[in-house]
Amino acid sequence: MSDCIFCRIIRGEIPCSKVYEDDEILAFRDIHPQAAVHALIIPKKHVATLADASPEDAEVLGRMLVLAPRIAKELGAGEGFRSIINTGKHGGQEVYHLHMHILGGQQMPAMIKY
Q: How far is CA 99 from CA 1, 53, 77, 109, in A?
A: 15, 12, 19, 22
Q: 83: exposed, middle or buried (C-beta count within 10 Å: 0-12, 13-18, 19+)? A: middle
Would you call 99 a catalytic residue per the annotation? yes
Reference 50, options 77, 73, 20, 83; nearest CA is: 83
* Active-site residue identified among 38, 97, 99, 101: 99
As annotated, the active-site residues are 99
